[in-house]
A and B are shown apart, each in its own frame.
Chain A
Amino acid sequence: MEPPIYYLKAEFIETDTGNKVSRRATIAGPQNIILGGKTIISSGAIIRGDLRRTGPGHAVVISLGRYCLVGEGCVMRPPYKTYRGNFNYYPMKIGDHVHIGAGSIVEAAQIGNYVEIGKNCVIGKFTIIKDCAKIADNTIIPPNTVVPALSLFAGSPGRFVEDLPESTQDMVEAQTKQYYLRFQALER
């Protein structure tokens, strides 16, 4: 029923696993970023895979699951802190079916599955967002906050507002899949 969302074929790179990454997005340190498949990175997004943990060897900085959406102008930056006198970045893990609205800044340590983050949010450092949670538009989540499963957070600072319905998981799954199907290339 929903109308398709068109994009110019030339603007997006589609990978074998169905990820669609805008050429106008800034992907720093792509070797440290994992996309699960069928994930869309919109134009203007900035993903800082280069801010990796110090030390030798390969390090995954940001991992996104399947059917995720990073909205236009989002900034994804791994959290950092000084622990025992050493400054370090820490990895960011994002589950499946996670939508992040346009203009949001995410520095979370962990985001579960089926999470919706609205537009123009700030998700503070080391925030943990559990499964099926929802962050309303324009919410500021301070650093080190824990957002429990199936809860809606809103405001500045973001606070618990209400419990989400039991069928949230099914709905978010259907929505994110539908969004991926609607996101079509405009052939010309």
Chain B
Amino acid sequence: MGPTVLYHCSCLSSSPLPPPPHLPSSSYSFHPLHTLFFCEECDAVRCNRCVSIEVSSYYCPNCLFEVPSASVRAEKNRCARNCFMCPNCRNTLSVVPSDPPDNGGASSPIGSLNEPPFFLYCNHCRWDSAEVGITFEKPTGLAAQLQKFEDSAPDSLEFERLKEHSEPFLRASSLSSTIGGHAPAHPSSAAHSHHAHSNSITAAASAALARDIPGVSKYNPLARSTSGRGGSGKDRSKNKDEMPEYRSRVEISKPSATGGGGGEADVELMSHLEDIGYIATLEQRWVNSWVSPLQTHELKPLRIPLHSKRSKRCPACAHILIKPEQKAQSVKYKIKLVAATYLPAITVALPHSQRSSAEAAKRSLAKSTSAAIDDDKNSTSDMQAGKTYPFHLALSNPLYDPIQVRLSVQRMHVSTASSKDGTSSEKARRPPFAISLPTSTFSVAAFAEAWEYEDDEDMFGVDDEELGLKGSLATDGRGKLRTVGVLEKRANVTIIGGEVVIGKEARGNVKFNMLVSYTYRSDDPAPSESNDGDGSSISNLKATATKQPEVKTFAFYTVVDLGHIIPREESRTDLDL
């Protein structure tokens, strides 16, 4: 693993400042840039942890059929066509005719002569459904053929009974929640209020969440809705707890009657066990909602669960960030607001390890000693305590306007943070390393489609050569290494040099928070309006009306991980060896 840069999303904490990077829990607040979204309305970064998700379509991952949402519920979220999963290894099963596989020899038995009966066969573990007595007259509509077995299974009977039992209750609560009208009153739930109408289960859940709890004062986002609520709240509480007790179809204390095994029968089986493979593993058994057979040879094929395509919304303003195309296997999006198109992408590199690995690669081409490369990599990519290393940050601008960037390392509260757990290590009182970065602003040129043209590779190649030359010339000309500052600009990428001084007693990783703020010319005519977003957003959007009215500043935090420090003792032993 090389050095990495992760971006901060402040959704987990109330303060816009990121947590100190040396805490293990801080990793939950930092994400790779490509997984983040950007809400234009709030002017803020959003991550997968904070966006709200809606299912936009369902499809079967095997036959890729798009399942309408009505039949999703009827089929219990599973594919109702020909798709089955091996109960043994979870592989997809294929339908094969019953002419014996051995006449095909080494070739697969699929479709040689097509003789009924058909059965399901696993290409991976060679399980077949004939083992459990499931065969089919024709190779299509398998789910329909199995339907009658499934409908008579104890779990589906129990589920039907439970559904029947709660049906009047669900209907009553969905009715009261729509009449009570608390859903449209809440601004953010207005968007999914139509769900409440269509889906009685969500309605029941929201009604249950919103119901009065004795002794607990009701939370109300809007004061005026309290008065309108009194009447509806009364009649809801009336029908709320009038649910009759549910009696299950079979007594669970008598499991042998259902074929679920248990008790004496299982003990008997276990005592005569010869091979552990006869017993179904926990993984094979616990995906089912009902007691499933203990023995491997009694497992039934499973219908494949459906997958979904999801659209994502900003948690604060409910604007859509991701909206996929309806077609199940399309990878295009109608709306796609990802952070990579708004924030500059930052990559970090350690020139000392890169140089050595490149040289090693060249050398290996000449001598073809592959073992030598690994040795070199191990020794040079890590940093040793008590030394100084340069590092490069490459910022690439995705915007069509040039940006002015300023980098600053966040003041680390290492002294305070480590004093909490500092009883163990008194060395950690001093910051283990110091980072120096250029303090002045620098520009990153605009992204232009021209850079994307495919015939510019010669230019890139030349640039790389020049970079090497320039670097060496610069060091020779000035006599000393110039590492901190703007090193190179090309296309929409600017490379910044920084330096890390590692303390003598340092250990762990060189990891620091870096604030990146950039200014750009905005096309948005009304920046003041989006300024009144919630305080938790990290954006400190300012309309600086000094020289240009449409200049905007956006700031975000990143954590830069340069890699592992080799402690002093360790490196010394390495040398001894």
Write the residues of chain A forming the contact surface with B, with a CB cutoff of 8 angstroms. 1-8, 80-85, 87, 114, 124-125, 130-132, 140, 142-146, 148-151, 157, 159-160, 165-171, 180-181, 184, 186
- In angstroms, Cα B106 to Cα A99, docked, is 30
Q: Which of B76-103 contact A (CB under 8 A)?
A: 89-92, 94
When the two chains form their complex, are residues B340 and A170 in contact, meaning their CB atoms are under 8 A apart? yes
Closest beta carbon of chain B to A63's beta carbon, Å: 20
Q: Which residues of B contact A87 (CB under 8 A)?
A: 107
When the two chains form their complex, are residues A82 and B340 in contact, meaning their CB atoms are under 8 A apart? no
- In angstroms, Cα B109 to Cα A155, docked, is 25
- In angstroms, Cα B111 to Cα A80, docked, is 12
When the two chains form their complex, are residues A166 and B322 in contact, meaning their CB atoms are under 8 A apart? yes
Of the four ranges (under 10, 10 to 19, 20 to 34, 35 or more), the interface on chain B belongs to 35 or more
Closest beta carbon of chain B to A74's beta carbon, Å: 18
Q: Which residues of B contact A2 (CB under 8 A)?
A: 349
Residue B150 at the A interface, CB < 8 A? no
Q: Which residues of B contact A151 (CB under 8 A)?
A: 61, 307
Known interface pairs A1-B349, A80-B107, A143-B108. Does A131 touch B331 (Cβ–Cβ under 8 Å)?
yes
Q: Which residues of B contact A1 (CB under 8 A)?
A: 347, 349, 392, 394, 495
A-B pair number, CB within 8 angstroms: 113
Write the residues of chain B forming the contact surface with A, with a CB cutoff of 8 angstroms. 34-35, 48, 59, 61-64, 89-92, 94, 104, 107-108, 110-114, 122-125, 307, 322, 328-331, 333, 336, 338, 340, 347, 349, 354, 357-358, 361-362, 365, 392, 394, 457, 460-461, 464, 495
- The one of B90, B91, B111, B392 that contacts A81, using a Cβ cutoff of 8 Å: B111
- The one of B124, B330, B347, B495 that contacts A157, using a Cβ cutoff of 8 Å: B124
- In angstroms, Cα B568 to Cα A37, docked, is 51
Closest beta carbon of chain B to A169's beta carbon, Å: 6
Q: Which residues of B contact A170 (CB under 8 A)?
A: 34, 340
Q: Which residues of A contact B336 (CB under 8 A)?
A: 166-167
Q: Which residues of B contact A83 (CB under 8 A)?
A: 111-112
Q: Which residues of A contact B108 (CB under 8 A)?
A: 81-82, 125, 143
Q: Which residues of A contact B307 (CB under 8 A)?
A: 148, 151, 160
When the two chains form their complex, are residues A146 and B89 in contact, meaning their CB atoms are under 8 A apart? no
Known interface pairs A4-B358, A82-B104, A166-B322. Does A144 touch B94 (Cβ–Cβ under 8 Å)?
yes
Q: Which residues of A contact B89 (CB under 8 A)?
A: 157
Q: Which residues of A contact B62 (CB under 8 A)?
A: 146
- In angstroms, Cα B34 to Cα A159, docked, is 24
Q: Which residues of B contact A6 (CB under 8 A)?
A: 361-362, 365
22 A-B residue pairings within 8 Å (CB atoms): A3-B358, A6-B361, A80-B107, A81-B108, A83-B111, A83-B112, A85-B113, A132-B331, A142-B91, A142-B122, A142-B123, A146-B61, A146-B62, A148-B59, A148-B307, A149-B330, A151-B61, A151-B307, A160-B61, A166-B322, A167-B340, A169-B331
When the two chains form their complex, are residues A146 and B63 in contact, meaning their CB atoms are under 8 A apart? yes
- In angstroms, Cα B408 to Cα A138, docked, is 42
B35, B124, B361 pick with most chain A CB within 10 angstroms: B124
When the two chains form their complex, are residues B460 and A181 in contact, meaning their CB atoms are under 8 A apart? yes
Closest residue to B104 on the A side, CB-wise? A82
- The one of B48, B322, B365, B392 that contacts A7, using a Cβ cutoff of 8 Å: B365
Known interface pairs A6-B361, A131-B331, A186-B362. Does A146 touch B347 (Cβ–Cβ under 8 Å)?
no
- The one of B61, B91, B110, B122 that contacts A148, using a Cβ cutoff of 8 Å: B61
- In angstroms, Cα B111 to Cα A85, docked, is 8
Closest residue to B2 on the A side, CB-wise? A2
When the two chains form their complex, are residues A81 and B107 in contact, meaning their CB atoms are under 8 A apart? yes
Q: Which residues of B contact A3 (CB under 8 A)?
A: 354, 357-358, 361
Q: Which residues of A contact B330 (CB under 8 A)?
A: 149
Closest residue to B362 on the A side, CB-wise? A6
